[in-house]
Amino acid sequence: MPAHAAIRGPRWPWVIAGLTACLAASPVSAQPAPGGERTGFLALVVGSNRPGPGQAPLGFAEDDARRMAEVLVELGGLAPEQVRLVLGPTRDELLAALDDTARELSALEAAGQPTALTFYYSGHARARALSLGQEEVGLEELRARLLGLPARLTLAILDACQTGAISGIKGAEPAADFSHSTVAELHATGVAIMASSSASELSQESQALGASFFTHHLVAGLRGAADADRDGRVTLHEAYRYAYHRTLASTAVTAVGKQHVTLEDELKGKGELVLTFPERSQASLALDAELEAELLLERLPAGSVVAELHKARGEPLRLALPTGEYSALLRIGADLLRCPLTLAQGEAGSLPGERCRLVPLEELAVKGAADSPPAWGLELGAGLRWGLRDGFDERLADFGFEEQQQLFLPAVSARVGWSFLPYVGLWLRFDMLQAASYQRSTLDPSGAERGQDFSWRCYGLGLYLRGQLPLLDGWLVPYLEAGGGLSMGFTRYHDGQAELDERESFAGWQLGAAAGLQLMPWRNFGFFGELAYTTAPALENLVGDRHDGGGFSAVLGLRGAL
């Protein structure tokens, strides 16, 4: 995922520009805290969730780009028009954004202004290229364009994510990490590159944070968490050290493994680069020197995680934040505190405060409690079913039985599932497949009419493999599934006058496939709709006709997740 920062040297300010892939470029609307002081500097911030061939869509690359652009304007000394935000671009759109940036830098140089560019990219990449959907921008081409820009200083921040873990499961070998390759190959005087991982590692994003680990911690550092000397400014090396340690700690417990942030630069003689100025923020959160705690800070009403950090005893900490409402989860020793927080213009809030309350661990907000979506699901649905007709039904007609037409055939389904991967799960499902009733009238030896009934019900119990694609942060999840198992049929023949009531049961197999859509407005509760087809040849009569108790079904239902 991507990240950006603004920089200032000993004689003029320098700014980090981010290159982000997007469908359209637009200025960032936010109030710059330092007032757009860095008039000769531009930032290109690019984010792309779109996957390339063999890759899965990313969830938060474009959101990370938005956060980076926001912090550059809010704390980096850039005016909104100096930051170009590009989301989900094609190859041509990205190259056009670079060409536009080159023209702007040339105009600034012609006006005698010192120039600097921050290039930020968050998205998919392979070892030799950025992945922009089905298209690519090769590393050699990108390097030539960046070094050819008329900027006296270029800072590139690269958060390039590959789906290496998924590729490994499929038997493919992940390519060498793009970020590290870029550090080696873009090396030149006046260029600094911060990359999200080393040569043999994969960059990761976090469902709980709603961001990549690297960009999340980098942005928190730029807001003041990285200000080690408490001078109200965050430098490039302060931001790097903070992002390095926090990213390493966060990824040490993930399935993919540790992620080491890298930094290489050729900025000797240019002084320490200042990226942001937290001291000039609209509002701030102050943590006392004596406080030792784990902090998870969410911005309301969206619930997006702004910071997740460890506050060590002995040093005060100040986070620069936009004004608004926040919710803080503070763990101090064995105590867990939930603290509402309101930050107004020019104010510094503090934690813990009078409004904090102790909460039991089971009330821990799910956003910060786990790094993965719920693994277990329970679905209950009902709907309509269209049964299949075959020789079994025709045989009943030959014997004078007439089907009793029903207004609709009910379809009932209950399933329990386990998602052992973000996009793959196993589901055990029980379905009422089909029900039918036939009647006929005959005359007994005395000439009296007698009625006879024949009915059946079919059920299925199967294990299904489900492929799912979470969209919109898991709010919308289309899925496909297929599987098979057992089918069971039960028949009843009833002749009241002859006092006959014969029942039989049958067992067979079933195969089925389904396509559905989950709507999850809440993390643990939502709805689903599904269209399915099942074949289940279970019933058999005395002359060898076998009936398929399956058919098409449409089901709506409720879904719970744990």
Architecture of the 282-365 domain? Sandwich (2.60)
Determine the pLDDT at residue 272.
72
Determine the pLDDT at residue 417.
95
Using CA atoms, how far apart are residues 548 and 562, in angstroms rounded to an integer?
36
Asked if 541 and 395 count as a contact pair (C-beta separation under 8 A), the reply is yes
Token pair 């959160």 in the structure block, residue = 285
Backbone phi and psi for residue 196, each to the nearest 5 degrees, phi listed first: -80, -15
Using CA atoms, how far apart are residues 10 and 7, in angstroms rounded to an integer?
10
Asked if 342 and 355 count as a contact pair (C-beta separation under 8 A), the reply is no
Which H helix or E strand runs over 96?
A: helix 91-110
**Other beta carbons within 10 Å of 534:** 26
- Residue 547 has, within 13 A of its CA and on its CB side, a CA count of 28
Domain boundaries, the chain: 6-279, 282-365, 376-561
Backbone phi and psi for residue 90, each to the nearest 5 degrees, phi listed first: -80, 175
Local structure of residue 173 (DSSP, 8 states): P
Determine the pLDDT at residue 176.
40
Nearest to 48 by CA among 159, 166, 213, 183: 159
Q: Choose which CATH entry (2.40.160.20, 3.30.420.40, 2.160.10.10, 2.60.40.10) describes domain 376-561.
A: 2.40.160.20
Determine the pLDDT at residue 401.
84
pLDDT tens-place values along the chain, 562 residues long: 333 322 222 222 222 333 222 222 333 333 333 445 677 789 999 999 988 887 778 888 999 999 999 999 999 889 999 999 999 999 999 999 999 999 999 999 888 888 889 999 998 877 677 888 889 888 778 878 888 888 888 888 888 754 222 222 222 233 344 444 444 444 334 777 887 876 556 677 777 777 888 899 999 999 998 888 888 899 888 998 998 888 888 877 676 677 888 787 766 555 577 889 988 888 888 888 888 888 888 888 877 788 888 888 888 888 988 888 988 888 888 888 888 988 888 888 888 878 888 876 544 433 333 345 678 999 999 999 888 888 888 888 888 888 887 656 788 999 999 988 878 999 999 999 988 888 888 776 666 677 888 888 999 999 999 999 988 767 899 999 999 999 999 999 888 666 788 899 999 999 999 999 999 888 789 999 999 999 999 888 888 888 888 899 999 999 998 8
∠ Cα 9 13 16 (to 5°): 95
| Chain CA centroid to CA 293, Å | 28
In three-state secondary structure terms, 59 is coil
**CA distance from start to end of the chain:** 28
Which two three-digit tokens encode residue 443? 């005359």
Using CA atoms, how far apart are residues 78 and 412, in angstroms rounded to an integer?
59
Determine the pLDDT at residue 127.
66
Taking each continuous run of H as one helix and of E as one strand, the counts in the chain are 9, 34
List CB contacts of 497: < 8 A, sequence separation 6 or more: 444, 448, 450, 451
Which H helix or E strand runs over 487?
A: strand 476-495
Using CA atoms, how far apart are residues 16 and 45, in angstroms rounded to an integer?
9
CA gyration radius for the chain?
A: 31
List CB contacts of 405: < 8 A, sequence separation 6 or more: none
Determine the pLDDT at residue 88.
93
Determine the pLDDT at residue 383.
92
Nearest to 381 by CA among 562, 534, 531, 536: 531
Determine the pLDDT at residue 4.
31
CATH class of domain segment(s) 6-279: alpha beta
**Other beta carbons within 10 Å of 451:** 12
> What does the buried/exposed string (b/e) look like for 84-96 if buried means 16 or more CB atoms within 10 Å of the residue's CB?
bbbbbbbbebbee
Backbone phi and psi for residue 373, each to the nearest 5 degrees, phi listed first: -70, 165
Q: pTM of this prediction?
A: 0.56
Determine the pLDDT at residue 464.
97
6-279 and 376-561 share one CATH topology?
no
